[in-house]
A and B are shown apart, each in its own frame.
Chain A
Amino acid sequence: MSYHLETAAQPANLRRVAIDTVSRVEGHGKVTILLDAQNQVRQVRLHIVEFRGFERFIQGRPFWEVPVMVQRLCGICPVSHHLAASKALDQVVGVKHLTPTAEKIRRLMHYGQMLQSHALHFFYLASPDLLFGFDSEASRRNIVGVAAAHPETARRGVLLRKFGQEVIRATAGKRVHGTGSIPGGVNKALTQEERALLLQDIYQIVGWSRDAVQLIKQLHLQNPALYNSFGICRSNTMSLVGQDGGMDFYHGRLRARDGSGGVLFDGVDYRDYSRHIQEEVKPWSYMKFPFFTAFGKKNGWYKVGPLARVQNCDQIPTPLAEAERREFVDYCGGVPSHAPLAYHWTRMIEMLHAAETIKDLLHDDDIVGSDLVRTGERAMEGVGVIEAPRGTLIHHYRVDEDDLVTMCNLIVSTTHNNQAMNEAIRNVARRYLDGREITEGLLNHIEVAIRCFDPCLSCATHALGQMPLAVELLDAGGARVHALARNGDGSIGEAPG
């Protein structure tokens, strides 16, 4: 797990290629590649060029406002933030176990979010690359091209997305800014009419999700050389798993494996996350680099998200998705896959699982119960963790006697994958760019590697004053003349050599 190509020795002598605002990725990503005179790749970095003061935004607010407020951190997965905050604040209001109805309504909301997010990513962001090829005509590599060549695929993408949004609307009250989940439970029951409406479509949704798995599986089988190796980055993995080791997006304990699939830790209470995970700050990126404390910065970085989850769990507790998981594991020969393109296959297995789970929840009579909230003994701190579409999402709050938030720490899914995304694009750059003229198609290979992780950069960065930023002046020979850095406390000083 080297950092080869992270930093070139003499960047001043190198030609710089920048891919600004990485397309089909949320937020503001930038990749810089430094090439030498022979077009050999010497340095590759995925930069996060925007930062937002999310944690500072939350501090000083009454804690009961937080589950609603955090939805405004990110328009891409607001439900994930809504639920992670609610889970953390359940602890603050002293609730260890929600009522069965409240937990099932939250799960329904969460699995609806998972379904719509995965559908959007696969059908609209990833499929143009997968169906037409990474260096096909750029003007065709978009949803219009997909709609023209594969109209039914494009249509299903819209309807799957819409169904997920309707699940969210039914459980959260509104399509955006929902207030459904509150500390201690939920404040909106699912009506019989809403249940019936969703039941009308769910079998079709399960069927389409199943078809989507077959589609991506076929793409893998047609071109295994590409799909099994493109941007491959061997690493540790981490996700929540349920109490029985099964896949669970809403609740569970943390499990981590090494690159060979060996268990690094298991059964970890996520409230202890800070004992197991640290975040490294690098001067060239606003986004931190998390790693497992016990294994250090160099060997402790990891992947999260669908590829990690599907391989981390012991089983998937719905039959169709479990059959697909087994097939995926068999395809990989029983050893973990670290191929970024396998994210798409596993993402579709997860979408199928989400659809099946929604079906099961809608058939459970608890879902229309009326016992929605519990209370308990007030506490001062809470940690909430869920598996968001892009991976593990951590919300941690401390609250004072006046109910105001005094500390907020968020580790979002995309941040966990920071090192993995950087490694993937370095691999791709070495394989496809070395010694060749740069073309749009070749640059798209870099973006394809990033898109596999479905990053959402808009909420993956931290507050002003907390991020060191280095400015380095190099002479023509590449020797450093002067360097300044803004330190973590906001002060400016000489950058370390």
Chain B
Amino acid sequence: MRPEVVVFAVGNRSRGDDAIGALLLERLASWLAAEAHAGEFALIEDYQLQIEHALDLLGKRLALFIDAGYGTPAPLGFYAIGPAPASAACGTHALPPQGVLEVFRRFARAEPPPSFVLCVRGERFELGEGLSAAAGAHVEAAWRQLTLLCSRPDAALWAAMARTPLQTTDVPQTDFSRTAYCSGI
């Protein structure tokens, strides 16, 4: 079976809450294996997104980007994204998810698959630190969301879920389009 859904997890496991994406992906791999769904999903972990990740979107019908956020809603945000030319400006050696989608569009001369971001709020990103207590709680909330998503990997369903406001705890809703949602990106 060829994977039809790709899940990217971005971050550095050694920088505190930046490990959120990697930890969730690790847990997801075990869960998918136990649920006998492993063959349906391609799981990709990296420090940051780059142009070559556009190739990982080829042949996929759905994509999810998981990352830690800084100053983003707690415990998490889940929203749809599309290609954005300005996001592919290669500001550094890394790209935001929208930039990866834009590179895909230019490379494949086709629209990328429906894509979504699961942004889990982190608090501390210092080198050598473990996950903060707050981030630990956010990860649990994100895990529930993630299993919900991966048990029904359907673009229309995900889009509906993305339109449903998530309950936040200690910060006001943030305009994601303007928020640097990820420490790793």
Binding site for B on A (CB under 8 A): 21, 23-27, 52-54, 56-57, 69, 72-73, 75-76, 78, 116, 120, 124-125, 128, 139, 142-144, 147-148, 151, 154-155, 157-158, 161-162, 165, 175-177, 456
Contact = CB atoms under 8 A, between A and B. Distances in A.
B93 A125 contact: yes
A158 B54 CA distance: 8
Interface string B76-95: 00000000011011111110
A262 B92 CA distance: 36
Interface of B: 12-15, 44-48, 50-52, 54-55, 85-86, 88-94, 102-103, 106-107, 127-128, 184
Contact of B106 (A73, A78, A128, A154): A154
Given A78-B47, A158-B55, A72 B15 contact: yes
A234 B3 CA distance: 53
A124 B51 contact: yes
A158 B51 contact: yes
B98 to A, nearest CB: 11
A154 B88 CA distance: 12
Contact of A57 (B44, B107, B128): B128
Contact of B50 (A73, A120, A142): A120
Nearest to B99: A143
A270 to B, nearest CB: 26
Given A142-B88, A147-B103, A148-B106, A76 B93 contact: yes
B89 A75 contact: no
A143 B52 contact: no
8 contacts: A26-B94, A52-B127, A53-B127, A56-B128, A120-B51, A144-B88, A158-B54, A176-B47
Contact of A24 (B47, B48, B91): B91
A155 B107 contact: yes
A72 B14 CA distance: 6
Main secondary structure of the interface of A (DSSP, over half): helix
Nearest to A147: B106
B52 A161 contact: yes
Nearest to A27: B92
Contacts of A52: 127
Given A52-B127, A175-B46, 4 more contacts: A75-B93, A151-B106, A158-B52, A165-B52
B92 A23 contact: yes
Nearest to B85: A144
Contacts of A120: 50-51, 93
B90 A75 contact: no
B87 to A, nearest CB: 9
Contact of B107 (A23, A78, A158): A158
B60 to A, nearest CB: 16
A386 B14 CA distance: 24
B93 A57 contact: no
A26 to B, nearest CB: 4
Nearest to B10: A75
B90 A142 contact: yes
B12 A75 contact: yes
Contacts of A78: 47
A124 B184 CA distance: 19
A144 B104 CA distance: 11
Contact of B128 (A53, A76, A116): A53
A176 B89 contact: no
Contact of B51 (A23, A53, A76, A143): A143
Contacts of B13: 72, 177
A24 B128 contact: no
A125 B103 contact: no
Contacts of A73: 127
Given A53-B127, A54-B127, A147-B107, A25 B92 contact: yes
A161 B51 contact: yes
Contacts of B54: 158
The 9 closest A-B pairs by CB, nearest first: A75-B47, A147-B106, A72-B14, A142-B89, A162-B52, A26-B93, A144-B85, A57-B128, A161-B52
Contacts of A456: 93
Of B14, B48, B55, most A-chain CB atoms within 10 Å? B14
A162 B44 CA distance: 14
